[in-house]
Structure 1
């Protein structure tokens, strides 16, 4: 398990570096301004769908598929893939037609020119909606069979190819090329991951796995969408500030998201199948030992990463000065944003370990309701803090929210496991 985690961590680091290079290359070539703000705003809705899909579908599908025999596994894998892909194809088509309306709601502070560009880029990136959802299902298929390496290797290849595509096209076609690079990335991932489905098997739409997946997802699907809508709120608020602030906040969030993704894939994701097996067998001491061990490592790695970025972040960021109109003021603001967002890294990653433990026992309601409760309190506070302290205040309150939510989830899980073990 340790060797697997180290290998996954190495591959995830490669993926994270490649993923981070894309927005940073765009900014260093074009600077921070209307074009970059429009591009990052156009990805808000695909990002929301990816967050909902990745944090709900994966946690629901992996435990269900992990305990199936080969025939039922292949049948239900095809069923999940077709159902999810079909649903998001329809969703993407509706969003494409209504783009002028919802873009205006997301970025009300943009100028007419910036809004028009955001609509164009959004329509291109809506293809990513389908790709994001399909990739999450395919990841789940691999994870359920505890085959983690190819998911990372395929992502390395897709990220590298799309980055090379961006290098070649950005200077020729401008910011539109960046949107197409995102679509290319996801298309490559889907193609490379589809062999996991195996030979064609007609889905059985009323199978136990299909019905159970719907039962587990249904109570919190809208809740997850609501709870993961924070990026939309960020785009809304930062569109009201100076041009470029939206891009700087996105860069800080992207860096921490990449580190979070590395830690989650290396530490949290591999623990879901053994947690599900332990829960099914009623082995609660082992269940508790697994998630506590993973939580210890997650906290250690993310705290160390946050301290490292605090110590070396600004000197490294200064290397951007002079590229694409990046100024010393831009760099200092980005560093302050990253410090303020450090709680997002620590609380967010640790929270994924605890959520995974809940999902492994089939409890999707508890972590969702806890997050919805804290999120509902947090949103109005976030708006007030933003109006008073600006973008730095927005980043700080985001960190506080995720840290508080993690602690509440941990407290509830510990009590639930202790109560179940004694029953």
Structure 2
């Protein structure tokens, strides 16, 4: 079997994944710092975020950790020996590469149409330069469509073979490629690299370096797959293999379901392009990175080992174990996301000033990103809770339910985006009130909360529903602890006369966030929320470099 050995617990896997993901997120943060200092919310980077809509959507959807390709390969290959897994992987790779090669060609030939359809606001007066740059960048990043599918399939196969660190570490290669491109641009232009008259060259470098990063992610997995007996790239046309249809049965609806989730990104940028303010797309990206850094670490630590564990419990027909494992994943996620989101909200100003406040990143950019970060902080718990519940349905080989929920979510997201941003149209706003750009983030939060509730209810169809009363009780306890922690952090940040500059900002963040976390942990322990204690144990072991088991559901 290609499944992980029983001796390795969820806690051990979580430590490996968490460490690798932390390095990748650190690389992403450094990349974003360099982009902020080089371009701010100027036309080169603003256009890049619009151009990245389709290629990046495919890279995240198909090639991302916990994406549908990854999840389908893990759930199916974990039940097969290495030879069967290798043959099945070769066939699926051939099928996916054929389809995505056609998608790549279509993106190159139809780049103008892609931009005009996805972000029509760039055709308005004053945004022509941004549109031209976006078209060029779509063509440069089109190969990501092909690379995305290959990366997602390969990483799914590696996870099924108990190789977790490489998939979690590989995004560091993409960050490195972009940083190398920025380094070359700085060598050529120096401090003028972000000037408006150099926007075309900056946009080309961003597009090319992003594609090179995707290529490196695919190349780095090949030696590992060969070493694990999963083979090297090879064409195989065994379409009638029963395993192929088993993969497609999970992958097809899962891709549509997850794709609908990421259509929220399309919707957000569609309405962002219609807002009169410049730089909204860049601002969304800067704020989103500060959210995704902690969110990605916790997500990988919980979701990566959770899906194989739930799949094994389903195969063993252990319903009670499934409920315990699902509750563990859900409550650990909420226990981590509530304080993280609250700290991002109350410490938004010093965080942005310290991290981004350099070079071309001016006060207007700081004000925009700060407002967006507050909105993102509100939605972090709902985002991860929805992901945990979706994985539980994948483990049950029920991709239809998440698909239906996501289909309804699309329409709801469009309505909320339109309403919370004041009803923007090419002719101007329709509604008399508006949250502006933060309304786009608040709309996504509302969609995720409703979707998570629906998925919880739909578990009843599989006779695996979780008891609501303990969840609500522990959730309210965590919310109370979060309030105490965020209050401690806010008072520390505002009442102390912190020194200015980068060092002073780091000191303010460390002390304020530290007191906030300590207050949260002490109250959560006092209120006896079991998963909060388990999360604390997991983090303690990680800080000590210990690989021993944690007191999670599998260890009990």
Instruction: Please give the range of the TM-score, normalised by the shorter of the 2 chains.
Output: over 0.9
- How far apart are residue 224 of structure 1 and its match? 4.1
- Which of the residues 317, 338, 361 maps onto 1:282? 317
Contact 1:35 1:114 in 2 (8 A): yes
Note closer, same or farther for the CA distance 1:218–1:153 as it changes in structure 2 (3 Å cut).
closer
Query: 1 CA distance for matches of 2:118 and 2:455?
Result: 30
Answer yes or no: is 1:340 the counterpart of 2:405. Answer: no
- How far apart are residue 291 of structure 1 and its match? 1.6
Cα distance per residue 1:142-192 (max 9 Å; x no partner) = 111222112223443x14531441342232342321222211211111011
Contact 1:38 1:118 in 2 (8 A): yes
Q: For 1:198-217, what aligned pairs fall within 5 Å after superposition?
A: 198-199=230-231, 202=236, 204-217=238-251
Q: For 1:173-252, what aligned pairs fall within 5 Å after superposition?
A: 173-195=201-223, 196=225, 198-199=230-231, 202=236, 204-219=238-253, 221-241=255-275, 242-252=277-287
**Could you tell me which residue of structure 2 aligns to residue 329 of structure 1?**
364
Structure 2 gap ranges (5+): 1-8, 189-200, 423-432, 467-556
Answer yes or no: is 1:35 the counterpart of 2:70. Answer: no
Deviates more, 1:239-248 or 1:94-103: 239-248
- How far apart are residue 223 of structure 1 and its match? 4.9
Compute the RMSD of aligned alpha carbons: 2.2
- How far apart are residue 299 of structure 1 and its match? 1.1
Note closer, same or farther for the CA distance 1:301–1:400 as it changes in structure 2 (3 Å cut).
same
Query: 2 CA distance for matches of 1:98 and 1:167?
Result: 28
**Could you tell me which residue of structure 1 aligns to residue 15 of structure 2?**
6
**Could you tell me which residue of structure 2 aligns to residue 123 of structure 1?**
139
Q: For 1:15-414, what aligned pairs fall within 5 Å after superposition?
A: 15-53=24-62, 54=64, 55-110=67-122, 111-156=127-172, 158-159=173-174, 161-171=176-186, 172=188, 173-195=201-223, 196=225, 198-199=230-231, 202=236, 204-219=238-253, 221-241=255-275, 242-319=277-354, 323-387=358-422, 388-389=433-434, 390-413=436-459
Query: 2 CA distance for matches of 1:85 and 1:12?
Result: 27
Query: 2 CA distance for matches of 1:419 and 1:325?
Result: 51
Deviates more, 1:70-79 or 1:304-313: 304-313
Contact 2:174 2:212 in 1 (8 A): no
Query: 2 CA distance for matches of 1:229 and 1:300?
Result: 28
- How far apart are residue 411 of structure 1 and its match? 2.6
- How far apart are residue 378 of structure 1 and its match? 2.9
After TM superposition, what 4+ stretches of structure 1 lie above 6 angstroms from structure 2?
none
- How far apart are residue 381 of structure 1 and its match? 2.5
Query: 2 CA distance for matches of 1:345 and 1:419?
Result: 23
Contact 1:146 1:273 in 2 (8 A): no
- How far apart are residue 58 of structure 1 and its match? 2.0
SS in 1 for 2:120: coil
The normalised TM-score by structure 2 is 0.71
Contact 2:287 2:373 in 1 (8 A): yes
Note closer, same or farther for the CA distance 1:357–1:220 as it changes in structure 2 (3 Å cut).
closer
Query: 1 CA distance for matches of 2:413 and 2:119?
Result: 21
SS in 1 for 2:421: helix
Note closer, same or farther for the CA distance 1:107–1:70 as it changes in structure 2 (3 Å cut).
same
Larger radius of gyration: 2
In the alignment of these two chains, the number of paired residues is 419
Write 1 or 2 for the structure with the bigger share of helix. Answer: 1
